[in-house]
Amino acid sequence: MSDPYLRLESLRKSYDGVTMAVDTISLDVAKGEFVTFVGPSGSGKTSTLMMIAGFEQPNSGKISIRGTALDVLPPYKRNIGMVFQNYALFPHMTILKNVGFPLKMRGVDSGERDKKAAAALDMVGLNAFMSRRPREMSGGQQQRVALARALVFEPDLLLLDEPLGALDKNLREQMQLEIVNLQKSLGITAIYVTHDQSEAMTLSDRVAVFNNGKIEQIDTPLNVYRTPSSLFVAEFFGDCNVLSGKMVSTRERAVGLDCGMTVALERLGQSFQDGEKVSAIIRPEDVRLAPKSAKDLSLQLHLNHLIDYGSYILALCNLDQVPVRIRCEKYQRDLLEPGKDIKAFIAPEDIWIVSK
């Protein structure tokens, strides 16, 4: 990226002087891009967000927007909008006054700030609720108010720290679409923190996967899912089957699996040495009960259990004591009988190899 909008350069943060919460993170974000930070608790994603906001100071490294250093500025001078999981609305104020509060702190006169606050509420579909108090609104409505408040002063950057974590599934999915549609229509640059892989898939232009204070991979959601850079990324970002093996021939892209099969892969995303131990990543939807072509691997599995999710069935199987999950369609239910052996197929192009 030749001219990034937001740039993080070698950020480091330790809270105790020993353990690195954020360990030399560098990242460029383009204007209008939506980047999601995902990772387990303690991986550094929220600490990185808080350093961008100015609520935490890095031990070293630089943060800049459009080439202007942010790390030397206090939070209130960074012109950053922020939305938290806790809505943090003032209970004694009307919704209109809540949204207009950032403008009041910036010295905007009452008439102008009411006008801008009303416009921001209109953006999130709440212009009919301006005179209500927060306690008179649902959780989803309060989150929309918090979003309007973060946008009313036209920030240079929007930061969202697990803002939908307190909402139920249906409302969370609805709010995901509202957030991304609003972000794209305004053209604002956004950084979003979540542990939810499906949320990252829905919202993001790119996903940064955090682990132990580092970014293990940053790419489009689909590339992270289909071509993970490590076993950690593969297992964290979606469900997967893992078969152990070793590289037989890098020239021929041949991998020998511990279950006794050798497969010639369509592609190798990394450099490997002959004889190197590897893990074969196979997503559950890529294990099929019928072959796609004559090149498919054939597996003899033992079916242990079925989980019916309504829209699909998850078959829990074993391959020589190695667990294998198959995502099956509803119409295949009659083909599956727990306690019996079944034949399954995997296409070589659906196998992705990472270092063990």
Do 70 and 103 lie in one domain? The reply is yes
Do 321 and 216 lie in one domain? The reply is no
β 241-249/214-219 pair status: unpaired
Do the domain assignments include residue 233?
Answer: no
Do the domain assignments include residue 69?
Answer: yes
Share of the chain above pLDDT 70, in %: 99
Do the domain assignments include residue 1?
Answer: no
Unique residue bearing structure tokens 């960074």: 78
Do 216 and 278 lie in one domain? The reply is no
Tell me: pLDDT of 1 over 70.
no
Tell me: pLDDT of 265 over 90.
no
The structural domain count of the chain equals 2
Instruction: Give, for 169, the enclosing helix (H) or strand (E).
Output: helix 169-186
Do 192 and 287 lie in one domain? The reply is no
Tell me: pLDDT of 33 over 90.
yes
- At 165, the pLDDT band (50, 70, 90 cuts) reads confident
Which of these three, 226, 252, 268, is where a domain ends? 226
Q: Per-residue pLDDT averaged across 99-121, rounded?
A: 93
What would you report as the CA-atom Rg of the chain, rounded to the nearest whole angstrom?
A: 24
The enclosing domain of 134 has a CATH number of 3.40.50.300
Q: 3-state DSSP call for residue 117?
A: helix
Which of these three, 178, 198, 226, is where a domain ends? 226
- At 294, the pLDDT band (50, 70, 90 cuts) reads confident
What are the Cα distances from residue 18, in Å, to 24, 59, 291, 314?
14, 12, 53, 44
What is residue 248's predicted lDDT score, i.e. its pLDDT? 92
Do the domain assignments include residue 348?
Answer: yes
Cβ-proximal residues to 275 (8 Å cutoff; 6+ apart), any chain = 246, 247
Do 152 and 292 lie in one domain? The reply is no
Do 283 and 182 lie in one domain? The reply is no
Tell me: pLDDT of 26 over 80.
yes
Q: CA 253, CA 84: separation in Å to the nearest integer? A: 47
The enclosing domain of 341 has a CATH number of 2.40.50.140
What is residue 263's predicted lDDT score, i.e. its pLDDT? 86
Do 53 and 125 lie in one domain? The reply is yes
What is the per-residue burial (b if ≥16 Cβ within 10 Å, else e) of 204-241? bbbbbbbbebebbbbbebeebbbbbbbbbbbebbbebb
Q: CA 35, CA 315: separation in Å to the nearest integer? A: 34
Paired residues of 209 in beta bridges:
38, 217
Do 202 and 255 lie in one domain? The reply is no
What is the per-residue burial (b if ≥16 Cβ within 10 Å, else e) of 63-97? bebeeeebbeeeeeebebbbbebebebeeeebbbb
Q: Per-residue pLDDT averaged across 60-77, rounded?
A: 92
Do the domain assignments include residue 235?
Answer: no
Share of the chain above pLDDT 90, in %: 77
Do 103 and 63 lie in one domain? The reply is yes
**Residue 323 structural domain:** 240-355
Do 220 and 275 lie in one domain? The reply is no
CB 307 within 8 A of CB 274: no
CB 233 within 8 A of CB 40: no
